[in-house]
Every structure is written in C-alpha cells, then in structure tokens.
Structure 1
Amino acid sequence: MASERSVTELSFASHERHVRRSSEDTAAARAWLTRVLAQPALEAVDVAAGEETAISLGVNVHRLRLTLFVLTSLLVGVMVATSGAIAFVGLIVPHAARLLAGADHRRVLPVTALLGAVFLQLADIAARTVNAPQELALSIVTALFGVPCFLWLLRRRSADRAVNLT
C-alpha cells in the first residue's frame, strides 16, 4: 500500500506538470492541428456524401481513411500531452455514449456531453474523498476507470474483427 506521503507527492507532481503548461503550448498545438487537418477534413466532407460519390470526385478513400486514422491518433497524443491525462476521457465517453444511444449522431453528441460531464464530476468527487484530506490528481482517477474501459474496447474490437474474418 502506498504511503500517504508518496500519494501526496504523486498528486502534487501531476498537478505541477499540468500547471506549468502554458496557453502558448495549447495555442501551438491548435495551430499545428488546424493546418494539418484542413485538407483531409475537406476530403472527408466528400466521403460523407457517400463513398461512390467521393470516388467519382477523385478522392482516394482508402488513403483518406488511413490519413485520418493517423492524424486522429496524433491529435489525441497532442491533446493528452498538452492538457494532461484527463483528455483520455474523450476517448472513452463517446464509445459509452454510442453503446447507450445507438449510432445516430443527433443522439450521440448530447449523450456524450452529458456522460462526459457526469463522469468528470464523479471522478472529481472520488479524487477529493478517497484519500481525504489529501486530494488525488484527477488524471489518476480517470485513468483507473479509463484504461480498463479502453482495453475492453480494444479487445472487443479485435474480437469483432476476428469474427468478420471468418
């Protein structure tokens, strides 16, 4: 079991790393992401009209999907690096919302916002009360829930692919 002092030091170190990040860091990340995502985003609009339509407009759909996958991975990495591990919630909550609300984005978006807010409030309450009077870093609590959920999603997805291959 971790001593009270080591938990406090870990919490403070995590908080200190987050506080030292400046708005310049996030502004630089936003500018870079905007520039890098502009062209694929325009092509993705064509794909939204339908794959056949996008192909007829000259969009290489396979290349676009691969590009968007790589850029999305980079986006998540940059956002987690600049805002801290709390951004990890943005990976898990939309999947939970989709499981609850179905695939219709008109329902998924508000459910995602609500679930994200509720999840962070509950995580904050847990961070403040589990080791009272010391507080745990919010990122520790979100990771305790987020990592198992993320691993479950990866495992489920690979199992779904295995079924589709047979």
Structure 2
Amino acid sequence: MMLGERDAQHLGINVEKLKRQIVIITSLMVGTCVAFSGTIGFVGLIVPYILRLLFKSNYVFILPLSAVLGSILLLIADTFSRSIVAPSELPIGILTSLIGGPVFIAILIKFKKSL
C-alpha cells in the first residue's frame, strides 16, 4: 500500500479487500483498547478528529487544542455526571460514551463512504 493503489493492484493485491480488512482490524484494536482503558479514552479519539475537521492538517493548532478541549470536555461531563442525579454520582464513562459513541460511529460511516 505504500507504493500506491495502482502499484499494489499491479502486484496482484486486492486493494479494496485490503482496505476493508485494515478498517476492521483497526476498529477491533480500538474497541479492545477502549474496553481495557475505559470509555474516557473516547475523548482521546474524538477531540483530535473534530479539531482536524476545523483546522485540516495544521498540527500546530491541533495538538495543544486537543489537550485543552479534551480536558474541558471531561470537566463538563464530570460536572453533568455529578449534577444530573444530585445525591449520587453517575459514572463519567456513561456520559463520555453518550457523547463519544455517536461521534465515533459518524467517523466510521464517513470513513466507510470514502472506501
């Protein structure tokens, strides 16, 4: 794949099948990492992606803003998790899953359309 799709096809590689396999394997690896580390890890996947939509590939802005906006997102989610059910606390992972799940699915759908 590093040579390009045309060269890969000339070498006899089914490029479309390989792309699908890469997407499936990557999704499984990300899902496994999130399962072990918790759903707060969604923040590390979603915030940089949203910032890339805004700033394209200008990583001078994306890297520091990812840290700032990721922490702001977690602070907001933590505030809501403490205030929604006031006497008790809702786990913050539930709120980050509610935020991150739909965004992550939208990312996968967008990527699937580009295949």
Instruction: Give per-residue Cα distances to partners, 1:60-100, cap 9 Å, x unaligned.
Output: 9x699677645533431222121112212222212111122
**Structure 2 segments unaligned to the other structure (5+ residues):** none
Q: 1:44-83 to 2 correspondence within 5 Å? A: 69-83=23-37
Q: In the alignment, which residue of structure 1 is the partner of 2:60?
A: 106
Distance 2:61 2:55 in 1: 6
1:66/1:113 CA distance change after superposition, 3 Å: farther
Asked whether the equivalents of residues 101 and 108 of structure 1 are also in contact (C-alpha less than 8 Å), the reply is: yes
For the residue of structure 2 that corresponds to 1:85, the secondary structure is coil
Q: In the alignment, which residue of structure 2 is the partner of 1:116?
A: 70
Distance 2:70 2:58 in 1: 18
Instruction: Give per-residue Cα distances to partners, 1:77-136, cap 9 Å, x unaligned.
Output: 222121112212222212111122222223222222222111111111111111112110
Matched, 1:137 2:91: yes
Distance 2:58 2:77 in 1: 27
Distance 2:22 2:90 in 1: 35
Higher relative helix content:
1
The one-letter code matched in structure 1 to 2:106 is W
Asked whether the equivalents of residues 123 and 138 of structure 1 are also in contact (C-alpha less than 8 Å), the reply is: yes
1:73/1:152 CA distance change after superposition, 3 Å: closer
Distance 2:34 2:90 in 1: 19
Of 26, 34, 47, which residue of structure 2 is paired with 1:93?
47
Distance 1:116 1:64 in 2: 33
Percent identity (aligned): 40
User: If you compute each CA radius of gyration, which structure gives the higher value, 1 or 2?
Assistant: 1
Distance 1:105 1:64 in 2: 28
Q: In the alignment, which residue of structure 2 is the partner of 1:149?
A: 103
1:130/1:80 CA distance change after superposition, 3 Å: same
For the residue of structure 1 that corresponds to 2:51, the secondary structure is helix
